[in-house]
């Protein structure tokens, strides 16, 4: 992941980028500002968790596919074991992904989790166990996406390396075969 924002390139998917950021910002802003407008913990909990769940779904099923070409899910197999499944675009399509879209995707994914951690620390310091529960749910959803997409990206890199190795090996083999068939 590049630390510097790509220069000179526009977002290829501005609407997707907008919604990628919208629910993250919405959940964080509502949680932070809700104490000014509501006395009910239940309203704060429900709305904040709903916004975080919408963010989780949008990132996992929409913006992850469009902005970085990755998709993940988890299944339970016949033995009752949890199995991670990953999808990624082919190497050529991944190479064409917009760098600015990718930058926004990864940075907001990680910064949102950091923000929830900071808010969790404030809840601990203020001895607000109920608000710590809200933060815990939202942080869990953020971390699930981080883990899923990080594993998916590593799996994609492994697939690309295997493809490159197989392609190189087949080229070398065909070159050697053609050299011997000439003789």
89 burial level (CB within 10 Å; 0-12, 13-18, 19+): middle
Write out the residue range of the structural domain in which residue 111 sits: 14-176
Asked whether residue 182 is domain-assigned, the answer is no
Q: Are 20 and 67 in contact (CB under 8 A)?
A: yes
181 inside domain: no
Residue 98 lies in a domain: yes
Alpha-carbon distance 130 to 52, whole Å? 17
Residue 1 located in a structural domain: no
b/e per residue, 161-180, with b = 16+ CB within 10 A? eeeeeeeeeeeeeeeeeeee
Q: What pLDDT shows up at residue 158?
A: 56
Full-model pTM? 0.72
Q: In total, how many domains does the chain have?
A: 1
Where do we find the tokens 């190497």?
91
How far apart CA 74 and CA 31 sit, in angstroms, is 29
- CA nearest to 87, candidates 142, 143, 149: 149
Low-confidence ranges of the chain (pLDDT < 50): 160, 163-164
Measured distance CA(48)–CA(29) in Å, rounded:
9
Please, which residues have CB within 8 angstroms of residue 101's CB and are 6 or more apart in sequence? 11, 12, 13, 16, 17, 66, 67, 68
User: Do the domain assignments include residue 79?
Assistant: yes
């Amino acid at each position: 992941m590049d630390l510097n924002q790509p220069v000179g390139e526009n977002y290829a998917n501005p609407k997707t980028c907008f919604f990628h950021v919208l629910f993250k910002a919405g959940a964080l802003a509502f949680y932070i500002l809700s104490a000014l407008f509501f006395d009910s913990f239940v309203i704060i909990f429900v709305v904040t968790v709903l916004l975080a769940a919408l963010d989780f779904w949008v990132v996992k099923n929409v913006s992850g596919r469009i902005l970085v070409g990755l998709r993940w899910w988890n299944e339970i197999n016949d033995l009752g074991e949890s199995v991670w499944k990953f999808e990624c675009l082919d190497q050529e399509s991944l190479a064409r992904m917009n760098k600015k879209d990718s930058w926004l995707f990864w940075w907001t994914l990680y910064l949102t989790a950091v923000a929830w951690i900071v808010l969790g620390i404030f809840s601990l310091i203020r001895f607000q166990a109920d608000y710590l529960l809200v933060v815990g749910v939202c942080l869990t959803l953020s971390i699930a996406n981080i883990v899923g997409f990080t594993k998916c990206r590593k799996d994609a890199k492994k697939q690309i390396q295997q493809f490159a190795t197989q392609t190189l090996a087949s080229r070398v083999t065909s070159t050697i075969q053609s050299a011997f068939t000439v003789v």
